[in-house]
Structure 1
Amino acid sequence: MAATSLNKSIFRLVVGTVLFTTVGVLISMWVTTSGHAQKQLNRNLTIAQGVLQQVLASREQQLYNSADVLTSDFGFKQAVATQDEGTIRSVLLNHGNRINADLMALISLDGLLTSSTSAALPIGSPFPYADFVQETINEGGSTTLMLFDDKLYQVIMLTVDAPRPIALTLVGFELEKELLTQLKNITQLDLSLQVRHNDSLIFSASTLALGTQLNVIEDEKRSFSWWDTAILKKHAYISKQFQLAELQDQSVWVVLSENAEHIFSEFNQLQITITLVALLSILITLLFGAMFARNLATPLKKLAEVAHRISHGNYQQTLHTNSEDLSEVQDLSSAFSLMQDNIRARESKIIFQANHDLLTRINNRYHIEKVIDDKLQLGESFQAIGINIFGFRGINDIFGYHSGDICLKVLASRVSALGGLAARLTGGELLWIPDVVQSNEQLLKLKLALEHPIEETGVIINLKVAIGIIDCPADAQTAQILFKRMNIVLDEAQITRQLLLSFDPEIEQRYLRRLSIIIELKQALAGNQQELSLAYQPKLNISANKIMSVEALIRWNSVKLGFVSPEDFIRIAEQAGFIENVTNWVINRAMDDGQLLLDAGIDVCIAINLSAHDVMNPELLPMVVSQLAERNLPRSLLSFEITESDVVKDPDKAIKHLTAFKDYGFTLAIDDFGTGYSSMAYLKNLPVDTLKVDKSFVLKLNTQVGDQNIVQTVLKLAKSFGMDVVAEGVENQETLAMLQRWDCEYAQGYHICKPIPVAALIEWYRSHINQNWLENT
């Protein structure tokens, strides 16, 4: 056996040792780096899942705030309570356009779609997710993902409370590919959304191409190895899925996908470099291997620690790299720093948006609610001041929504400058919690300062604000009670024009009664006809000594509310926007009773009172004419009475509409004359036949000289315009005799007859047909 030279042995030993060491190092590095890559991938996917869920949660909260604005709007509640389909649809469309919602709908408590802005939810059909409707009713609000017409929507559903749930409102935003792209930019991963029905895929949307998406979905079900991924290229993407929502028999899944080539590309290049260097120089390879191991392992470990801290929400640490670190490590470190800064900035923005109103930049309702509840739980006493722009809807209608937004921003800025806490609750309503309790004198000065005119592009907008005051915890023990009672106080302030008003339990009782009157009156008009009735008070033609007309007066005896005065429910019906329903009921009932009177041989004219809304309603006259023709009744059966104030609101338009009534042959009268704001300039142009002197001037006519002068003046005025006069409130024979001497045409009052039902009127008329009313004169 030939001896081996020392050089060869050394060479073999060195080469063998280096080769063995190099192979061992490479194998060790392959195993270590592959494991590290898998851990890093899992961390990336886990972090991306957390970021994605946080972004979706923030989006969900913003959607909740948008939906809450709608359901908290009093006008919308009234529209739902009154089933005003036109107003409901208008509010849904306007609010949906403002918040860029793709779905807006109103759902009844039994799950029927009563109004919708999308063909995906046809009106009148049952809502397809019945369990979600019941969950919303039980919880007051719910959110989930739903599939309609092969489109996936993020849906917010809240109850409309008045104060109990009366309906549900739905707001939906489509999860389109553009949103997935935005989420991809946030998570730096590709995303796929899947909807599965009994393990069958029925919907899919992804930032990946279709073929790639199918591979990802298949690969997600298998584990991966470095050899399969980096060398054999079997897996283009590595994925992780989690369930996002589940509703009935459908489930929504999110698949996060990381590009495997991106993870292992640097590793492959590194292995080639190390192998070449090892073959070129034994010594340099050993030294470089040692240096590489040190330069690679240390910063990677630091970066792993940083990633771990970031995954726990710590974004404050500073990343440093040494000059001798590999450029890839430095790039990765820079990428980590940038990622950390971006996540921190996005989280700060998300937190700000979650707690602040995006338009006014002050606290939003959600955040101020938590602050108020914290204060109340700590037993703090404070003053809550609600500030509402009076006629805010009018500002939007006249100047546009852009100007309305500017008014809100300026008002919010003025309130914020006062110190304390400021928040926006609903459309034009702000809440201010001052650091120091404010007196009424201070609030009056504050009101004047807040109402300083706003100039916008050459247009001056004059603000009028209503201020409501609630002392906590005396008047409200929770934030929800505070918001509810603040809404009640501000509503009362606008109705009564007391634009600086403190909370009082009586105000809340009046508010609840108004709601009860609205609900019960609508039900009475819809079906329960026994509660509503008409009473008739005869009018005596003094010169003819004969009853020739009667006034129809509506009466309401509610089963739940008892007797409700017409002065109360007529005014509330006008404010709630369904006075025309009341007027239509009165006209139809008067026609029915008129037919009974004609059948009984009684030929009298029935006078019907019209509200300001009725006078301006162009559809009223055609309806009256049509009903009379359908029933084959003469037009002389009906006449109409209006009050002075209703005419004064818009005299030109009122004269136009009343002239149309006159042209059709109806007799018109001005009711309660002398109590309004009559103007000779338009009185002479009114197509009216009669003036009715208010009973306040007639009740004591036989004893009050001042009233006598007023009545005689009205009589002279009426004669100069060629009008008849009806004196209301005739209570005694002396008054009737005076009216006869002054040539007053008609008398009406308890001395003649009190208001009675139609059956009693027939009997009364027959028993008094030959009575000489003036026999004692």
Structure 2
Amino acid sequence: MAAKSLNQQIFRLTGGLVLLSTIAILVNVWFSTVEHAEQQLETNLQIAESVFKQIFRNREEQLYNSVDILTSDFGFKAAVASDDEATIESALLNHGRRVEADLMAQLSLQGSVISTTNSSLNVGEPFPYQNLIEQTNQRGGVSTIMMLNDQLYQAILLVVETPRPHGITLIGFNVDNRLLERLKGITQLDVTISVEQSNDISYSVSTLQPAIKEQALKQTNADLSWLDVLLFSDALYISKRFLYVDNDNNQIWVTLSENVTRLYGEFNRLQLKISVIAGLLLILTLMFGAMLAKKLSTPLYGLSRYARKISAGDYDQLIEVDSKTKEIDALSNAFVAMQANIKERQSEIVFQATHDLLTGIFNRYKIAKILDAKFKENTEFMVIGANIHGFRGVNDIFGYQSGDRCLQAIAARFEQLDGKCARLSGGEFLWLPDKELNGDMLRVIQRKIEMPIIVDDVVMNIKIALGVLHCPQDCDNSESVFKRINICLDEARVTPDLIVTYAEEFEKNYIRRLAIISELKKALASKHSELSISYQPKLNLHTNQVDHAEALIRWNSERLGFVPPDEFIAIAEQAGLINQVTEWVINAVVDDVAIMREQNIPLSVAINLSAKDIVDPHLLTYVTDKLKEFNLAADCLSFEITESDIVSEPTKAIVELQRFRDAGFSLAIDDFGTGYSSLTYLKSLPVTELKIDKSFVLKLNEQNSDQQIVQTILQLAKSFNLSVVAEGVEDNASLTLLRDWGCKWAQGYYICKPAPLVQLINWYTDNLATDWMK
């Protein structure tokens, strides 16, 4: 629904109130007047009826006196007694002239006309109203109104006694317009007398004009019509009708009519005055309403224009509104404050929309806009992605607050460089240098950014991986930049110097990693998994018996084919799937160990753990619950941890590894000797074994340097009271050297290749009596 203007609403309010008030007054006056008029009319009609009847009673008394004088006259009695018609006629004429009677007649007791002065009756004929003759004979006299020869008379019939009844004398007056006009003069009402025979009017006399007579008679005993009154009808009557005489099927009806226009004249004038006053008041109200509306709407329209400008982003306009209204001034001041606040908030919103809130540098959205602008310029430029290597570990070891301080420090170092920088997510940054950089320059910048960060006396040593794109050769839009910089950083994280420049094969590797992640999720969720476990036995060189084995996961993918463990394990760690993989291995190994124990094969199986597994506080509970499920002891399993994994988070690793040792599990450092920092923590690590990397064992009988390294490790392990496992044994000579030097376990292809459970059981059974030293 369309909105109404303030002017319209004020006009409607003021005009509506005045109009409603006027209508209320007019209706109230109307109902009051109608009520008063109805009461007045009822009173007037009742009075007029009484006056009418009283006048006719007076005429009746006059007639009675006149006929009584005549019938009391001796001479008239004698003439009646002697049936002297001439004398009777003369007496009737003389007396009629004297009393001004319009009808004089002498009737016999049987109702025959003996003599008359009116042509309405014929001598010798019967009187028309025989019922009156009967009533007169019975009562001695009758007063009535009768119709004779189209003339209406008020008459008296009286018995003439001589001294016995000897005739009936009739005397009457005309009931005509003159009489009715006199009645009207007395009652101020119009009078209509009607004679009806069988409900049909046979005669009527009235003071009303013929044109309005019919309408007046229809309004007999009717309610007032307010519509007729409002239309000021000049012929608006209301009437009262009553039966006056009922003579032998001749009914005499009297109708009294009041002209209500006269009663309503003052009312109509009052209504007119009120209407005129209301009209003037309505006009004045609308005029003042228009002035008020203009006074209010003009500054409001001005404020609305300012509001539109503010909504369009114009926050510097000067708001000035000419108004003498406190509320408008307050609203204007509110607009000024709103403009300032919106301007401030808009600046904050723009900053938040384009900047990273933690570091204050550009965010992904803003740097994308900058990249798109550079692509439109069609110039060459360099894009460098940076990622804090192992940033999740920084948060885990030093806490998220220290991690945030680390990000802020890195961002500040990028801002000191020439160009534009942004934080994309987590520990990932993007830098657009102002000039082209070569490899040496990138390594210098990498070292500057990797400088130790000190937070609350805690020194954080970080590593930064860099990925380099050359645009527009490598990319042609911002989305491809983000995608390929991620690909570069994935490659950089696994290169020695953590710096790579984009190459097309990276994308193929990236697609393969995505495929491996997708298929690995399916394999882990499937009941008929493509994953499997192979076991490589460990020969105890002290007892010449196989009592340990290492569990090695294998994956033959229906879509990807055979995927090497080194490849998909690393990808699982990056994708956050390594914990699921470890749980799958634990489930499979415990199930297999339970089967081997049922067949009296007491092998202790070693399971490899990743860096994320070590710091998982829930892993130990998971392992112990699984063993309890099959009622297996802790010596059924042992765990191997890669040397580099321990070095990455030594403090937390030591705590979690100690929990495994306290639970009764043996722990081994895998690939020992390939790192360079583990010796620092070896004295505090709760491990029971060292596992010599196969790179030192494969040609042990041929390489003197390998022999020296292996002997050194064995001596180091002895000093720390640790057992040693040598992997990669390929010949008997190497096996013999290891036994002679005191190595406890050996594993390799010379002893047995990794095999599934069924093959392992068969091999174990077949080699119980084998002498491995021959």
TM (norm. structure 1) is 0.53
Partner of 2:540: 541
Measure, in 2, the Cα distance between the counterparts of 1:580 and 1:456. 31
Partner of 1:142: none
Contact 2:551 2:608 survives alignment (8 Å): yes
Measure, in 2, the Cα distance between the counterparts of 1:681 and 1:429. 31
Partner of 2:487: 488
Partner of 2:59: none
Partner of 1:589: 588
Q: Provide closer, same or farther for how the CA distance between residues 361 and 572 of structure 1 changes in structure 2, counting only shifts above 3 A.
A: closer
Q: Provide closer, same or farther for how the CA distance between residues 270 and 675 of structure 1 changes in structure 2, counting only shifts above 3 A.
A: same
Cα deviation for residue 535 of structure 1 reads 1.0
**Residue 13 (structure 2) pairs with residue 228 (structure 1):** yes
Aligned to 1:380, the other structure's residue is in SS state coil
- 1:62-461 paired onto structure 2 within 5 Å: 224=9, 226-228=11-13, 232=17, 271=288, 338=336, 345=343, 349=347, 352-353=350-351, 356-357=354-355, 359=357, 363-388=362-387, 415=414, 420-447=419-446
Q: Provide closer, same or farther for how the CA distance between residues 299 and 405 of structure 1 changes in structure 2, counting only shifts above 3 A.
A: same
Contact 2:410 2:449 survives alignment (8 Å): yes
Aligned to 1:437, the other structure's residue is in SS state coil
Measure, in 2, the Cα distance between the counterparts of 1:764 and 1:301. 96
Partner of 1:702: 701
Contact 1:644 1:677 survives alignment (8 Å): no
Contact 1:315 1:340 survives alignment (8 Å): no
Q: Provide closer, same or farther for how the CA distance between residues 648 and 485 of structure 1 changes in structure 2, counting only shifts above 3 A.
A: closer
- What amino acid sits opposite 2:523 in the alignment? A
Aligned to 1:519, the other structure's residue is in SS state helix
Partner of 1:519: 518
Cα deviation 1:592-617 (Å, max 9, x = unaligned) = 22233334443333232333444444
- 1:609-688 paired onto structure 2 within 5 Å: 609-648=608-647, 658=657, 661-662=660-661, 664-677=663-676, 683=682, 688=687
**Residue 576 (structure 2) pairs with residue 554 (structure 1):** no
Aligned to 2:730, the other structure's residue is in SS state coil
Partner of 2:91: none
Measure, in 2, the Cα distance between the counterparts of 1:377 and 1:725. 63
Cα deviation 1:270-316 (Å, max 9, x = unaligned) = 959999xxxxxxxxxxxxxxxxx9x9999999999988888877788
- What amino acid sits opposite 2:350 in the alignment? F
- What amino acid sits opposite 1:692 in the alignment? K
Contact 2:315 2:343 survives alignment (8 Å): no
Q: Provide closer, same or farther for how the CA distance between residues 631 and 472 of structure 1 changes in structure 2, counting only shifts above 3 A.
A: same
Contact 2:611 2:646 survives alignment (8 Å): yes
Contact 1:387 1:466 survives alignment (8 Å): yes
TM (norm. structure 2) is 0.53
Measure, in 2, the Cα distance between the counterparts of 1:458 and 1:616. 24
Cα deviation for residue 757 of structure 1 reads 0.9
Cα deviation 1:442-498 (Å, max 9, x = unaligned) = 444545555677888999888765543222222222211112222333454456574
Partner of 1:468: 467
Cα deviation 1:420-440 (Å, max 9, x = unaligned) = 544443455443434433334
Measure, in 2, the Cα distance between the counterparts of 1:571 and 1:529. 23
Comparing 360-369 with 402-411, which one deviates more in the overlay? 402-411
Cα deviation for residue 567 of structure 1 reads 1.8
Partner of 1:210: none
Partner of 1:772: 771
Contact 1:534 1:757 survives alignment (8 Å): yes
- What amino acid sits opposite 1:532 in the alignment? L
Aligned to 1:735, the other structure's residue is in SS state helix
Measure, in 2, the Cα distance between the counterparts of 1:460 and 1:233. 85
Contact 1:605 1:638 survives alignment (8 Å): yes
Aligned to 1:755, the other structure's residue is in SS state coil
Contact 2:535 2:756 survives alignment (8 Å): yes
Aligned to 1:425, the other structure's residue is in SS state strand
Cα deviation for residue 557 of structure 1 reads 1.3
- What amino acid sits opposite 1:546 in the alignment? Q
Measure, in 1, the Cα distance between the counterparts of 2:4 and 2:420. 49
Aligned to 2:550, the other structure's residue is in SS state strand
Contact 2:388 2:462 survives alignment (8 Å): yes
Comparing 495-504 with 452-461, which one deviates more in the overlay? 452-461
Cα deviation 1:754-775 (Å, max 9, x = unaligned) = 1111111222233333333333
Cα deviation for residue 727 of structure 1 reads 2.8
Contact 1:730 1:750 survives alignment (8 Å): yes
Partner of 2:728: 729
Partner of 1:187: none
- What amino acid sits opposite 1:756 in the alignment? A
Measure, in 2, the Cα distance between the counterparts of 1:406 and 1:666. 39
Aligned to 2:546, the other structure's residue is in SS state strand
Unmatched 5+ stretches in structure 1: 1-36, 43-222, 235-266, 276-292
- What amino acid sits opposite 1:365 in the alignment? R
Cα deviation for residue 699 of structure 1 reads 1.3
Cα deviation for residue 586 of structure 1 reads 2.0
- What amino acid sits opposite 2:364 in the alignment? R
Aligned to 2:9, the other structure's residue is in SS state coil
Cα deviation for residue 409 of structure 1 reads 6.2
Partner of 1:748: 747
Quick check: which has more Rg, 1 or 2?
2
- What amino acid sits opposite 2:629 in the alignment? E
Measure, in 2, the Cα distance between the counterparts of 1:545 and 1:628. 28
Cα deviation for residue 268 of structure 1 reads 9.3
Contact 1:383 1:434 survives alignment (8 Å): yes
Cα deviation 1:150-196 (Å, max 9, x = unaligned) = xxxxxxxxxxxxxxxxxxxxxxxxxxxxxxxxxxxxxxxxxxxxxxx
**Residue 604 (structure 2) pairs with residue 605 (structure 1):** yes
Measure, in 1, the Cα distance between the counterparts of 2:505 and 2:456. 44
Contact 1:318 1:337 survives alignment (8 Å): no
Contact 1:310 1:340 survives alignment (8 Å): no
Contact 2:539 2:548 survives alignment (8 Å): yes
Cα deviation 1:2-33 (Å, max 9, x = unaligned) = xxxxxxxxxxxxxxxxxxxxxxxxxxxxxxxx
Cα deviation for residue 726 of structure 1 reads 3.1
- What amino acid sits opposite 1:583 in the alignment? T
Measure, in 2, the Cα distance between the counterparts of 1:485 and 1:738. 51
Partner of 1:532: 531
Unmatched 5+ stretches in structure 2: 20-283
Comparing 690-699 with 647-656, which one deviates more in the overlay? 647-656
Measure, in 1, the Cα distance between the counterparts of 2:716 and 2:300. 102
Q: Provide closer, same or farther for how the CA distance between residues 455 and 730 of structure 1 changes in structure 2, counting only shifts above 3 A.
A: closer
Contact 1:488 1:507 survives alignment (8 Å): yes
Measure, in 1, the Cα distance between the counterparts of 2:301 and 2:360. 42
- 1:569-588 paired onto structure 2 within 5 Å: 569-588=568-587
Partner of 1:63: none
- What amino acid sits opposite 1:591 in the alignment? V
Cα deviation for residue 370 of structure 1 reads 3.3
Measure, in 1, the Cα distance between the counterparts of 2:311 and 2:655. 73
Comparing 612-621 with 602-611, which one deviates more in the overlay? 612-621
Q: Provide closer, same or farther for how the CA distance between residues 746 and 473 of structure 1 changes in structure 2, counting only shifts above 3 A.
A: same
Measure, in 2, the Cα distance between the counterparts of 1:681 and 1:449. 27
Partner of 2:173: none
